[in-house]
Amino acid sequence: MSEALLQALLSGLAVGGAYALVALGFSITFTTTKTLNFSHGEFVSAGAFIGMSVLFLALGKPLSSTSFGSDVPGSGGQLLALLVTLVVMGALGWLLYRLGVRPFAGRPGMAWVMSTLGFGVILQSVGLAVWGPKPVVVPAPVGDEVMRIAGVGVRPQELLMLGVAVVIMVVFDRVMRTTMLGKAMRAVAFSPSNASLMGINVNLVMVGAFVFSSALAGLSGFLLAPIAQASLFMGLSVGLKGFSGAMIGGLSNPRGCVIGGFILGVLESMVNLWQAQWREVVIFVLVILVLAFRPNGLFGTKLVEKV
- In-domain check, residue 300: no
> Is 298 among the domain residues?
no
Name every residue whose Cβ is closer than 8 Å to that of residue 190 and which is 6 or more positions away in sequence.
Answer: none
pLDDT tier at 106, thresholds 50, 70, 90: low
- In eight-state DSSP terms, residue 98 is I
**Residue 232 in contact with residue 45, Cβ under 8 Å?**
yes
Identify whether 302 is part of a domain.
no
The total number of structural domains in the chain stands at 1
Domain that holds residue 45: 2-293
pLDDT, tens only, 276-299: 788 888 888 999 999 899 888 888
Max Cα-Cα span within the chain: 66
Examine residue 232 and state whether it is found in any structural domain, yes or no.
yes
CB atoms under 10 Å from CB of 69, counted, come to: 9
Query: 109 pLDDT exceeds 90?
Result: no
Q: Residue 262 domain-assigned?
A: yes
Return the pLDDT at 108: 66
CATH of the domain at 48: 1.10.3470
Q: Which residues pair with 149 in a beta bridge?
A: 152
Q: What is the average per-residue pLDDT within 198-210?
A: 90
Q: How far apart are CA 193 and CA 182, in angstroms?
A: 17
Q: Report yes or no on 222 lying in a domain.
A: yes
Q: What is the DSSP letter of 136?
A: B
What is the pLDDT confidence band of residue 216, given thresholds at 50, 70 and 90? very high
Is residue 263 situated within a structural domain? Answer: yes
DSSP annotation of 133: S
